[in-house]
């Protein structure tokens, strides 16, 4: 029997939750990651695999998300993830730089890496009438929601942290 077997039964396959799992599960740990709607048979089989056979079990629906989140090319670093959260909360480059103790160039570099990993296209239709067509930040946020990197609950939690940071500067918290 493994010394540190963990079995996780979760309701979400969002990438943000899969990434958090990798942060809290120690290396060399045998675990199972299933969705809440799995069948009883699948649950029993997974428990047996984890406890008796010492095999990790990852739900098929989560497996693609898991491999993408661990991929150096498509998975976001913590720094890129922080910038994603900050732009989703509406912060400017200057505010991100102040909050994350970065230079403006550091923010720009992280945004560029974020856009690359999310495959935010910089192909623009430009017009003299309206300028560029897309906001790269808005596209990044949209793609992050679609990919499950962020969700409303997470942003609500992050807004509390932002309000705390703003209170240090005697700025009114967001509504």
Q: What is the pLDDT of residues 94-123, one digit of tens each?
A: 999 999 999 999 999 999 999 999 988 777
Spatial distance between the Cα atoms of 124 and 150, rounded to a whole number of angstroms: 25
C-alpha–C-alpha distance, residues 87 and 168, integer Å:
20
Distance CA 157, CA 153 (A): 6
pLDDT, residue 114, reads 94
**CB of 97 within 8 A of CB of 104?**
yes
Residue whose pair of structure tokens reads 């048979």 in the numeric block: 41
The pLDDT value given to residue 64: 59
> For residue 168, what pLDDT band results from cuts at 50, 70 and 90?
confident
- Are 68 and 118 in contact by the 8 Å Cβ rule? The answer is no
Q: Tokens 């661990």: give the residue.
A: 70
Q: What is the pLDDT of residues 42-52, one digit of tens each?
A: 888 888 888 88
Instruction: State whether the Cα torsion 51-14-110-82 is positive or negative.
Output: negative
pLDDT in the model for residue 159: 94
């Amino acid at each position: 029997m493994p010394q540190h077997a963990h079995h996780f039964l979760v309701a979400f396959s969002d990438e943000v939750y899969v990434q958090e799992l990798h942060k809290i599960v120690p290396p060399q740990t045998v675990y199972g990651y299933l969705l809440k709607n799995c069948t009883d048979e699948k649950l029993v089989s997974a428990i047996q695999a984890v406890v008796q056979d010492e095999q990790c079990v990852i739900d098929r629906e989560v497996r693609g998300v898991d491999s993408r989140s661990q991929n150096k090319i498509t998975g976001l670093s913590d720094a890129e993830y922080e910038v994603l959260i900050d732009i989703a909360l509406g912060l400017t480059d200057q505010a991100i730089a102040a909050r994350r103790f970065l230079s403006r160039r550091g923010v720009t570099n992280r945004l560029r890496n974020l856009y690359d990993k999310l495959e935010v296209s910089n192909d623009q239709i430009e017009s003299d009438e309206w300028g560029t067509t897309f906001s790269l930040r808005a596209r990044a946020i949209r793609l992050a929601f679609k990919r499950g990197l962020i969700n409303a609950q997470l942003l609500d939690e992050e807004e509390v942290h932002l309000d705390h940071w703003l209170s240090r500067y005697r700025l009114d918290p967001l509504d």
